[in-house]
Structure 1
Amino acid sequence: MTSESPFIVFGYGSLIFKPPPHVIAQTPGFLKGYVRRFSQKSHDHRGTPESPGRVVTLVHKRDWDKISQSDAFPDEDTVWGVAYTIDPAYVAEVRDYLDYREKDGYTLETLDVYGVDANGKDTIIIHDAFCYVGRDDNPSFIGSEPLGDLSDRIWRSVGPSGPNKEYLYKLAEAVRELSPNSFDSHLFTLEDMVKRLDLGST
């Protein structure tokens, strides 16, 4: 990033419903070739070191196909989120804020963000947006879990930032509001499963 380049960060998880500070523009868009999965342990926000919750990370589709063995949603390879442009006067402050917020196993990478043009075709709208990715070699990466086990874990887990299920519900609601085209089978299926656990507990 040069001194003239804007600092743009793409949020695909909690950043969608809890944006970073000092945002001067925000643009809904999507990534191609990735999946968003609840494959990251949360020891510090939606769980504890003794009983970690689960939060989302990005995984390249071809890598996920090798990891997951039997993904319930094999054809899903777009991830909707929001690209946030940060006020240039506060870039260092926001970088420090995000580095701390995403410290539990996330790595800063650059990715192209896509949108849909007037002709309905996918087109790159932002080159090299920054994005925090929990790579599969980080200690908090849990990989693929059966949806039943995963939904139960999310339903039961609580951390300093609140219940894990609250994170799931807020993320699902926020993704629905991004665009008429935004959809996430993994996310919405887990939302439905956890809500059924809520109903069963009353």
Structure 2
Amino acid sequence: YDRLEIDLHLETGESVNGITYFASGDNPNYLGHAETSDIAQQIFGASGPSGDNTEYVFRLEQTLGEIGSPDDHVTDIANQLRQLKN
């Protein structure tokens, strides 16, 4: 995955710097459409320039909940990762 720094334009009119990750089909780490268990297995134990991928998913799940935008797919992946950790 490529780590991209982008400008985010908030509803307040403010602009802030952000980071996103992008993978295309020609990237050897790109899984594409896959079952949740396969996604979790690829994430489990993986890390990159921004840290541990499992912890990233847990933080993403938490933050989405905190801002009132929970995502069922992210939660499903996080739950699979919790099972793998145990």
Letter in 2 for 1:190: I
Deviation of 1:138 (Å): 6.1
Count of aligned pairs between the two proteins = 77
Q: Which runs of 5+ in 2 are unaligned?
A: 4-9
Tell me if 1:184 matches 2:71. yes
Query: Which runs of structure 1 show a deviation greater than 3 angstroms over 4 or more consecutive aligned residues?
Result: 137-142
Deviation of 1:162 (Å): 1.1
Higher helix proportion, which one? 2
Alpha-carbon RMSD across the aligned residues, in angstroms, is: 2.9
Match of 1:166 in 2: 55
Tell me if the contact between 1:43 and 1:159 (Cα under 8 Å) persists in the aligned partners. Answer: no
Q: Which structure has the larger Rg over C-alpha atoms?
A: 1
Distance change >3 Å, CA 138–CA 155, structure 1 → 2: closer
Q: Which runs of 5+ in 1 are unaligned?
A: 1-41, 45-82, 88-93, 106-133
Work out which structure has the larger RCO, using CA pairs closer than 8 Å and 6 or more positions apart in sequence: 1
Match of 1:27 in 2: none
Q: What TM-score, normalized to structure 2?
A: 0.68
Provide the identity percentage.
Answer: 21
- Partner SS state of residue 156, structure 1: coil
Out of 86, 94, 99, the position equivalent to 2:15 is: 86
Higher strand proportion, which one? 1
Q: What TM-score, normalized to structure 1?
A: 0.32
Letter in 1 for 2:82: K
